[in-house]
Amino acid sequence: MIVSNGKVLIIDDQPARAKALADFLADNGFQVQMVADVSSYAHSLGEDSELDVILCELDLKDFSWFDARHLLRAMDVQVPLIMFCDVAEVDKIMTALKLGARDFFLRPVEDKSSLVKSIERCVRERNMRRDLQVSRERLEAANIELRGTVKVLEQDQQAGRQVQLRMLPVTPMALNDYVFSHTVMPSLYLSGDFTDYFTVGKSHVIFFMADVSGHGSSSAFATVLLKNLFARKRSDYMRRDDDAIMNPLVMLHHANKELLDLGLDKFATMVVGLLDMDANTLRYSIAGHLPLPVLVCDAGARYLEGEGSTVGMMEDVEYEEHLLQLPDRFTLGVFSDGILEILPPDNLIEKEKYFLNVFEQKADSPEQLVTYLGLDRVEPAPDDIAALFVTKGG
């Protein structure tokens, strides 16, 4: 095999011998340079050198390899070295090895094909090192670009997080004897869990909890859509006599259609409630949400009943609407399923029992529940966690 464009440097203080070797290598397709005095060689022999291999005479006149070790260290020689000598003495071979020689040949070189193969191996090594260096530089450039992209993404996510936080309602919000409050903990910058509550007219409050599938930006976008849906329907009620916002079941159907039309392959579990403060009643609908809302009063704690398909998964869905007469004193807690990830029991049934027991024992205030459940200590959260509380007479 003849290697084209392999660049060889011959170091020999005998011009005739150097020329004979140069002619032989040129005939075999190598590009050759010759130099008689290694100490005066001014070109780079480092990693960026254009040379592929150095063929060097070990016995140079008036030159000591031992004395030149500092010079060689300063030159940072990275080009493969093949050395030649007239005698096979142990100390000369050891000197060649200490200089880092890849190969060693006795003069006269009887097997010149072995010399060519040795040079070809050095050329291949240099080419591989160059390819590796190019790959390393590309990787470093890609890493720099990636770090820049990640930084921009983090800034975008942080900005999105601030926008999402501003979308949340005031907490706590006190209306007559009722207090509404919430806690949202994203597993990433942005959350797929969202809650909202607002007044409609003088005596009604609408609230909802949504747990959108997945995490991050696309899930957060779906929460923006749901927030906008409820805001639009509130406006329609006040300006167009459209009473959809007063019907939790109807709002679930609207949410189902909007998520399907969004085309992001996102679905969500939801709880939608309408609180009548004058009558102290709650109308609500549930769309595949776990855990179910928990109502705590003097009689104890219990899960509210209700079932239905998630919104955004299929067109033909059925939901139920329930009407509940509320006690004079109560706490209603609605959580996204991220809370189940941090509860101690191993299986879902035991988690639900534990969760209900926490409400039985620690429902004196939402703050006490948050602390007992460890929401103020979970960082980072394994999943998005949202909590909505409605209390009366506490």
The stretch 369-389 carries a mean pLDDT of 78
Q: Which residues contact 376 (CB under 8 A, 6 or more apart)?
A: 370
pLDDT of residue 4: 55
Confidence label for 334 from pLDDT (cuts 50, 70 and 90): very high
Mean pLDDT of the chain: 87
- Which residue carries 């609500």 as its tokens? 284
- The angle subtended at Cα 216 by Cα 210 and Cα 221, nearest 5°, is 55
The topology (CATH level 3) of 168-392 is Phosphatase 2c; domain 1 (3.60.40)
Give the H/E segment covering residue 297.
strand 294-297
CA distances from 262 to 10, 212, 218, 219, 227 (A): 71, 13, 11, 12, 14
- CB 11: neighbour CB atoms within 10 A? 21
**C-alpha dihedral over 59, 63, 67, 68, to 10 degrees?**
-90
Domain limits, the chain: 6-136, 168-392
Q: Which two tokens stand for residue 188?
A: 């990433």
Half-sphere exposure of 346 (CA within 13 A, CB side): 0
pLDDT of residue 76: 67
What is the rounded CA–CA span in Å between residue 307 and residue 332?
Answer: 18
The stretch 260-285 carries a mean pLDDT of 94
Say if CB 53 and CB 122 are below 8 A apart.
yes
Give the H/E segment covering residue 368.
helix 366-373
The stretch 9-37 carries a mean pLDDT of 91
Q: Which CATH superfamily is domain 6-136 in?
A: Response regulator (3.40.50.2300)
**pLDDT top residue among 45 and 31:** 31
CA distances from 239 to 102, 233, 235, 246, 276 (A): 88, 10, 6, 14, 21
Sign of CA dihedral 106, 111, 115, 117: negative
- Which residue carries 């309408």 as its tokens? 274
Q: pLDDT, tens digit, for every residue of 150-204?
A: 888 777 777 777 777 788 899 899 998 999 999 888 776 777 889 999 999 999 9
Q: Which two tokens stand for residue 221?
A: 């976008």
What is the rounded CA–CA span in Å between residue 370 and residue 20?
Answer: 88
What is the rounded CA–CA span in Å between residue 254 and residue 228?
Answer: 12
Q: Where are the beta strands (DSSP E) in 98-251?
A: 103-106, 173-175, 178-185, 193-200, 204-212
The stretch 357-383 carries a mean pLDDT of 76
What is the rounded CA–CA span in Å between residue 322 and residue 324?
Answer: 7
Q: Which residues contact 355 (CB under 8 A, 6 or more apart)?
A: 291, 294, 335, 339, 340, 343
Confidence label for 1 from pLDDT (cuts 50, 70 and 90): very low
- CB 27: neighbour CB atoms within 10 A? 9
Task: Report residue 352 CA to chain centroid gap.
Answer: 32
Q: pLDDT, tens digit, for every residue of 74-104?
A: 666 788 889 898 887 887 888 777 777 889 8
**pLDDT top residue among 285 and 163:** 285
**C-alpha dihedral over 343, 346, 347, 350, to 10 degrees?**
-60
Q: Which of 201, 190, 191 is nearest to 234 (CA)?
A: 201
Three-state DSSP at 103 gives strand
Confidence label for 3 from pLDDT (cuts 50, 70 and 90): very low
Q: Answer yes or no: is pLDDT of 148 > 80.
A: yes
